[in-house]
Amino acid sequence: MDYMKFILLISFLYAVIHILFSSLNRKNTKSPKLPPGPPCYPLIGNILQLDTSNLPQSLSKLSQKYGPIMTVKVGTIKTVVISSPTLAKETLHKNGPALNTRFTPDSVKALSHEEASVLYMAVSPKWNAFRKVCGTKIFSSQNLHSSQSLRREKLKELILHLKENCREGKGVDIADATFTTVLNSMSNTFFSVDFARYCSVSSKKFRDVISSVLVETSKPNIADYGSIFSRFDPQGARRRMRSYYQVLLADFESIIEERLQKKDPIEGSDVLDSLLEYTRKEKSELTCNDLLHLFLDLFIAGLDSTSSTVEWALAGLLQNPEKLKKTMKELQQVLSKDGELTDSDINKLPYLQAVVKETLRLHPPGPLLAYKSVAEVEICGFRLPKDATVLVNVWGMGHDSSIWTDPNLFLPERFLEGEDNLREDIGFNPFGAGRRICPGVPFAHRVVHTMLATLLYHFDWKLADGQKSEAMDMTEKFMVTLSKGKPLMAIPVKE
């Protein structure tokens, strides 16, 4: 029996057992009133109606027909999709305790990562400890302030790299350049070391590994359909994930090992020192092994999201030359002649900030927030069963024409009006909401704005290969995050 037939047979048996048990249960209980949704086939559910390569858009289309709270079935798993700001608020805040457990794909369980993962573990004392160190020892204003000169060095290196391309009139793969800059900004903020040089083998290694982790996390995997399949890892996803994790963990391990060997550690001098000091405390909830898994999560969650935001922002501006001019003009007016930029200068750049917000509205790096209900809850008169997957469609809300005028246009100006437009109740929550809101916001805010400002202050840009701005390909590629389908290639033309 070949592999596919084996998988189909197992799926079939599982579905038969599942259907049998649910119909037996139904005899004794009142059928729960699930949110409405498209009719589905037994066994495969609504899979044929869903485009998994662009799930947020595909769910958004279905929601237009079935409403802002809808049920779809992915195989046999009930999935409730939320696409309105009010319902999202009710889901993430009011029903927090029942819904703030993240849906954990089987693949991420490699090396038991889910047991020490701030991204995936349930809200618990250990998760609280992870969040506490994120808030106080990694992303506090004081910490980020003291490491800003290191990140400024990284921006100077980015300028030097772009100057070379400028001299040669060569197109730059923007995603590649922004990725290396974020990678080194992060490694310097945490460990005071560089991880890679531009266009180097090590930069490619990190990009490949992070992208493989994201692809593996988003791929449909039969092991997510029940513990019987999970035990066998039939598609090998967990096995592959283990090898990606090992590459990253080996690097963190050697850095931690080296730091521990130091005879005379200068305690508290960078994030790693202060975290190691924390693990040595008598009643510390975290061990050195936990730190390894924390760094794994921070690099996985923070690298692609931050660098792709800068790529999308530059792409949006190159596609809209008027907006590009306006952003550059603001930078010329506000920054000093040398273009040296401190984190506090961001506050003086309202148009640049609006450009970033508009980018996050159109292309949120976390387009679907995925949770699992740990208890049955009621939302707007509908019952969300226990163990359902709950998806909050951030992308859908960002493109909803009942919330935004001309939702598909790049109009940063819409964010200049109103005093506080990062409010969730207007359907804008690119960093999530509730207890699981992104802890990396202060880092991402600084790095995205200063990098974009650096690109635009020091260079003019033109699209590579004679591309016209009107003809730019802005297709999105969904793999947990939302990348640019066709990488942006642009030439830095003059200083």
CB 185 within 8 A of CB 154: yes
| 427 is a contact residue toward ligand HEM (CB under 6 A) | no
Least Å from the CB of residue 406 to ligand HEM: 23
> Given the complex with ligand HEM, which of 371 and 461 has the nearer CB atom?
371
Left if phi > 0, otherwise alpha if psi is -120 to 50, otherwise beta: which for 387? left
- What track of x and - describes contact with ligand HEM for positions 363 through 392 (by CB under 6 A)? --xx--x-----------------------
Task: State the Cα–Cα distance between residues 91 and 163, nearest whole angstrom.
Answer: 48
- Give helix 441-458 / helix 288-319 axis angle, nearest 10°: 40
CB of 33 to ligand HEM, least distance (A): 26
* CB count in 10 Å sphere of residue 77: 16
- Residues numbered 91 to 120 that lie near ligand HEM (CB under 6 A) are 102, 118-119
Report how far apart the first and last C-alpha atoms of the chain are (Å, whole number).
Answer: 64
Min CB(331)–ligand HEM separation in Å: 20
Answer for which of 35, 37, 440, 492 binds ligand HEM (CB under 6 A) is 440
The answer to whether 89 contacts ligand HEM (rule: CB under 6 A) is no
Check: CB of residue 42 under 8 Å from CB of residue 352.
Answer: no
Q: Contacting ligand HEM (CB under 6 A), which of 40, 439, 482, 488?
A: 439
Among 105, 226, 427, 432, binds ligand HEM (CB under 6 A): 432
E strand or H helix at 138: none
Instruction: Please choose, out of 55-63, 283-291, 417-425, 439-447, the segment that lies near ligand HEM by the rule CB under 6 A.
Output: 439-447
Query: Read out DSSP for 28-92?
Result: HSPPP-PPP----BTTTBTGGG--GGGHHHHHHHHHHHH-SEEEEEETTEEEEEE-SHHHHHIII
Confirm or reject binding of residue 444 to ligand HEM (CB under 6 A). Answer: yes
Question: Could you tell me which stretch among 23-31, 170-178, 402-410, 441-449 binds ligand HEM (CB under 6 A)?
Answer: 441-449
The Cα 384–Cα 397 span in angstroms is 20
**Mask for 287-326, x = binds ligand HEM (CB under 6 A):** ----------xx--xx--xx--x-----------------
Residue 276 in the binding site for ligand HEM (CB under 6 A)? no
Write out the binding residues for ligand HEM, residues 30-59 only, by CB under 6 A: none
Which string of DSSP letters, residue by residue, matches 170-216? Answer: --EEHHHHHHHHHHHHHHHHHHSS----TT-HHHHHHHHHHHHHHHH
Q: Could you list the residues that contact ligand HEM (CB under 6 A)? A: 102, 118-119, 297-298, 301-302, 305-306, 309, 360, 365-366, 369, 430-434, 436-440, 443-444, 448
